[in-house]
Amino acid sequence: MQHPSRPTEPRQEIVDLAAGLVPALAARAAGYDEADAFCHEDFDEMVAAGYTAITVPAELGGMGAGALDLVAAQSRLAEGNPATALAVNMHLHGVGLLAEGFRDRVEPFLKQVATEGAILAGGFSEPQSGGNWWYQASTATPLPGGGYRLSGTKTFFTGWPRATHLFLSAAVETEDGREPIGFLVPRPERGVRVLGDWKAMGMRATGSHALAIDDLEIPPECVVAVGFPVAVSFLVGSHWSWPSFASIFLGAAEAAFRHVADGLPKRRNEGLGQSLAELPGVQQAVGEMRMRLDAARATLLAAVARPPDPDPVAHYGRMAGAKLFTCQTALEVCTMALRTAGGSGYLRTGPLERLLRDANAGLLLPPSHDATLQWLGRVELGTAGAPGGPR
Ligand SMILES: Cc1cc2nc3c(=O)[nH]c(=O)nc-3n(C[C@H](O)[C@H](O)[C@H](O)COP(=O)(O)OP(=O)(O)OC[C@H]3O[C@@H](n4cnc5c(N)ncnc54)[C@H](O)[C@@H]3O)c2cc1C
């Protein structure tokens, strides 16, 4: 996988495209959350606006967004609805990663994203291994005429209700032992079953159902890569995944902050004879939230803008560290926003309780808090890089 030199500022036209979608997303967010409904109308608008093609290379009809553009645009989009932003992120970052690392294998699909509104969803998490994606319990069995038969269970399959294509991983027995294999498959009519509808604390509009893959026959042209290239793509392509995940939660926290910073000056406490914005505690909390958000944004953008570390293990660690710091900060800011708004922020008439529920998902998305810190520690101690993954 090649890393072209990276710009240091996100492209404004891509961020502006996201910003234009925000008001409509924000208006629908509470309704989706209330009904545990997938954000179909949001997807209609994102496809129509060309937003779902931002990470497709420009010469194939997209906007050629890099990872930095993606992070900046997605944090802006998430200010409208973090759940919609997470659902489309599984598509956008997957498209960017595939275009950068496996373009020769996936070019027809990339064109479909730009011209037909094709949408990708990725299934790597499994009940047996959680977010430790280098281990796959799902099996791919070679078929006599070529291709594979895939069986297994995939959990948290974000964007399934809208997906036209599936990015799937499994393990295949080769001469070298059990190896990972990656597939890009048009949504099949048979062989994939929803095991349980998505009912969750937050991120309710993401349609992250659990799926059973039952003897799904996959033709050879749908194989993206086998063995080492699959494993290494998760490391060298991690500037697409972990920072873009984090950008969603940064956007959620910005929305919570804005709600408080815009709303409290309009509220007056007659018992105190003051506007809430005049209270020193409120002023200090708003200042602290701003400081933390600015620090998280700077950390995240700097991480994704810097040239990748030539050591893929160190590169992965830096991306994971930036994601963890951002997601932790976002959760803290959402918690502070609720506390600063007071009891009325707890009501479902406003966005704060939803944003706080959504923000909790940041620390649950991979890599986990423990895995990230242990990985970073091992890199610094010189004990990382054992074959087989970040154990
Ligand atoms: C809103 C949402 C959407 C998601 N969407 C997708 C999706 O589209 N596709 C997809 O494939 N997955 C998705 N995921 C799933 C996610 O990737 C994780 O796999 C999932 O959270 C795993 O949960 P788990 O309970 O199995 O265990 P885990 O979250 O893996 O972990 C359980 C515990 O073990 C610890 N732990 C786990 N691994 C390690 C390690 N290597 N080192 C140290 N400690 C470790 C954790 O810190 C934690 O304490 C999504 C998750 C969420 C919350």
Query: CATH number of the domain that 21 lies in?
Result: 1.10.540.10
- The pLDDT score that the predictor gives to residue 385 is 59
- The pLDDT score that the predictor gives to residue 117 is 98
252 and 201, same domain (yes or no)? no
Q: How far is the CA of 365 from the centre of ligand 1 (A)?
A: 5
Q: Please classify residue 27 by burial: count the beta carbons closer than 10 Å to its beta carbon, then call 0-12 exposed, 13-18 middle and 19+ buried.
A: exposed
Answer with the one of 81, 99, 119 that is the final residue of a domain.
119
320 and 346, same domain (yes or no)? yes
CA distance 281 to 271: 16
Q: How many domains does the chain have?
A: 3
Task: Name the amino acid, one letter, at 346.
Answer: Y
**Strand pairing report for 120-123 and 165-174:** parallel
- The pLDDT score that the predictor gives to residue 389 is 47
Structural domain harbouring 364: 232-381
67 and 140, same domain (yes or no)? no
Helix axes 228-236, 312-341, angle to 10 degrees: 50
Q: From the CA of 158, give the closest atom in ligand 1.
A: 8
Helix (H) or strand (E) holding 274, with range, is strand 274-275
- The pLDDT score that the predictor gives to residue 3 is 52
- The pLDDT score that the predictor gives to residue 388 is 39
Kindly list the distances between the CA atom of residue 352 and the CA atoms of 255, 343, 366, in Å, as whole numbers in the listed order. 9, 11, 24
* Ligand 1 in reach of 361 Cβ (< 6 A): yes
238 and 220, same domain (yes or no)? no
391 residues of the chain, pLDDT tens digit each: 445 566 889 999 999 999 999 999 999 999 999 999 999 999 999 999 999 999 999 999 999 999 999 999 999 999 999 999 999 999 999 999 999 999 999 999 999 999 999 999 999 999 999 888 888 999 999 999 899 999 999 999 999 999 999 999 999 998 889 999 999 999 999 999 999 889 999 999 999 999 999 999 999 999 999 998 998 888 999 999 999 999 999 999 999 999 999 999 999 999 999 999 999 999 999 999 999 999 999 999 999 999 999 999 999 999 999 999 999 999 999 999 999 999 999 999 999 999 999 999 999 999 999 999 998 999 889 887 543 344 4
- The pLDDT score that the predictor gives to residue 351 is 98
Mutation probe of ligand 1 site: the residue of 156, 198, 199, 376 with most atoms within 8 A of C-beta = 156
CA distance 135 to 240: 20
Q: Whose CA is nearest to atom 51 of ligand 1?
A: 365
- The pLDDT score that the predictor gives to residue 107 is 98
49 and 85, same domain (yes or no)? yes
368 and 239, same domain (yes or no)? yes
27 and 63, same domain (yes or no)? yes
CA distance 268 to 84: 34
Q: Whose CA is nearest to atom 32 of ligand 1?
A: 130
pTM listed for this prediction: 0.96
Q: Whose CA is nearest to atom 8 of ligand 1?
A: 158
Answer with the one of 119, 140, 170 that is the final residue of a domain.
119
Q: From the CA of 366, give the closest atom in ligand 1.
A: 17
CATH of the domain at 350: 1.20.140.10
* Ligand 1 in reach of 368 Cβ (< 6 A): yes
* Ligand 1 in reach of 122 Cβ (< 6 A): yes
Task: Name the amino acid, one letter, at 113.
Answer: V
* Ligand 1 in reach of 202 Cβ (< 6 A): no
Q: How far is the CA of 368 from the centre of ligand 1 (A)?
A: 6
Q: How far is the CA of 316 from the centre of ligand 1 (A)?
A: 17
- The pLDDT score that the predictor gives to residue 132 is 85
